[in-house]
Amino acid sequence: MKRIRYPQKRYEPLLVREEALVDYKIHQSIVNNNLKGVKKDYGMFFTPERIVDFMLNLIDATKYSDKKDITILEPACGLAQFLVGIRRNQPALFKQAKLFGVEINQDIINYLSTVNIAGDINIIRDDYLLWQPELSFDLVIGNPPYGIPSLSKHYTIKIDPATKEKYKSLYVTWYGKYNVYGAFIEQSIKLLQPEGQLIFIVPPTFMILDEFKKLRTFLSQNGGTAIIYLGPDVFKPEADVSSVVLNFIKSDKFTFRLELLEYIDNKISTIKINPHWQGEVVKFETDYTHTMEDICSYRLGDIYEIRISPRTPEIKHSPYIRKDSPFRVDNYLPLLNGRNLKCNKIIYNNLTGYWIKKSEVKKLRGYFDIPHIVVGLGFRENGKVGAAIDEKCYPWMGDVYHLLRKNDLFTMKFNLSDSQIIAYLNSDYVRKYIKEVYREITYHLSITQLKSLPLPTEKEWQKIKKMEIL
């Protein structure tokens, strides 16, 4: 079982003719200005040239030195940044290669043909997720669209319900509120030849979110997966999203193989290697996170069932909810959300505009009528986990989690009190742990991540507070 090898060198940008680079930036500017609506509806973002060059450097050139009939594909190619880059920067190696780009938008294809950016690249108009070519590819490289497909104004990629159902039927990794970049990864791997290489820049959310659990399993079963973390600044200010480069080799020799790496200061460094990966959540690791996990005997999910509040669509359609202010407020309770939750404090004011009769609170969620711990996990600003005890038993909505104590022999041995758990969850120890394990992957943790949070006994909590580990 071999490992993907990265040369011990600095990844300087490839040589690009200055006048060609200027021309290409002009083309980007034209498309940015003229096709803003198209870009938004299709989840398009141009890749910075330095990242294009970095990804081109990841191509395993040794595979192609004696190979004929090389086929290279860029899905959702837009201005064909990667294919143009290959032709421009590695002309000798890929002189005979057949280059293919798939693009769904005719306006972009028309622009490409007008200015002749793509040269002899074969540009195909099609929906990549429905495309069924008769050939396979040695290399698939690019920047797939990001977004949840829907006609709803809340989602970025405008796809009609019938097309979305076709996607669901075609892709085994489709699960929950699936992001289309996951389907692009699956389709690309299916189109690779044995030992073929996939290089995509994508968000890192597939590493941890439940919606991608089938995709992670799919990756582990079909080859070797290297994830190179780039951080949150690649697409700013156009998009506030963290990015990774997925470098995947389709091969039985790589089965159950994972490498997590980081690109910083023009160097790739290894964070961890898992030779037995089977699609589990991929987390970052540091000495600090190892220390916390070693000290704590429990995980939060061992002690608590964790539930999430009703989301806005459910609230809007609930027969128990009213939007206008009731005549007799004393018979009603306001619905609270994340803005009402602070560290060890709940603000019992109506910030949502929604109300429910006190007598019907239990009909919304059965556990709303008992005191319990509530947790908010939006930590964009300071990494804090906001936790408090809802003694007044109010109804909630949105991204707020509810901890319901299990009653079994295992949990009876756990001796941390509710107030101590609140202090722990609100502590800088937990804030630091979450920031180091999940970096900037997402600004809201899921139930799965919350369940895996280390949880100490009373003795272990005292030990944590005495250690100088912050």
How deeply is 436 buried, as exposed, middle or buried, from its count of CB atoms within 10 A (0-12, 13-18, 19+)? middle
Distances (CA, A) of 160 to 40, 148, 150, 177: 15, 12, 6, 15
- H-run or E-run covering 322: strand 321-322
Selecting among 235, 248, 263, 394, the annotated active-site residue is 235
Three-class secondary structure of residue 251 per DSSP: coil
Quick count: other Cβ atoms within 10 Å of Cβ 440?
16
Tokens 């899921």, located at residue: 446
Selecting among 54, 64, 137, 146, the annotated active-site residue is 146
Selecting among 89, 143, 179, 340, the annotated active-site residue is 143
The answer to whether residues 397 and 336 touch, using CB atoms and an 8 Å cutoff, is yes
Cis peptide before 310 (omega within 30 of 0): no
Q: How far apart are CA 29 and CA 234, in angstroms?
A: 18
Q: How far apart are CA 465 and CA 470, in angstroms?
A: 10
End-to-end Cα, the chain, rounded Å: 39
| 235 noted as active-site residue | yes
Token reading at 183: 């389907």
| 143 noted as active-site residue | yes
**Identity of the amino acid at 15:** L
How deeply is 359 buried, as exposed, middle or buried, from its count of CB atoms within 10 A (0-12, 13-18, 19+)? exposed
Q: How far apart are CA 275 and CA 164, in angstroms?
A: 35
The answer to whether residues 145 and 46 touch, using CB atoms and an 8 Å cutoff, is no
| 105 noted as active-site residue | no
Selecting among 46, 82, 144, 426, the annotated active-site residue is 144
Q: Could you give the maximum distance between any two Cα atoms of the chain, in Å?
A: 82
Three-class secondary structure of residue 182 per DSSP: helix
Q: How far apart are CA 242 and CA 146, in angstroms?
A: 12
Q: Choose among 392, 380, 209, 406: nearest CA to 307.
A: 406
Three-class secondary structure of residue 96 per DSSP: coil
| 146 noted as active-site residue | yes
- H-run or E-run covering 312: helix 312-317
The residues near 442 (Cβ < 8 Å, ≥ 6 apart) are 205, 208, 209
Helices (DSSP H) in 250-311: which residue ranges? 287-295, 300-303
Token reading at 374: 């509530």
Q: Residue 281 carries which DSSP code? A: -
Beta strands in 52-190 (DSSP E): 71-74, 98-103, 122-125, 137-142
Active site residues: 143-144, 146, 235
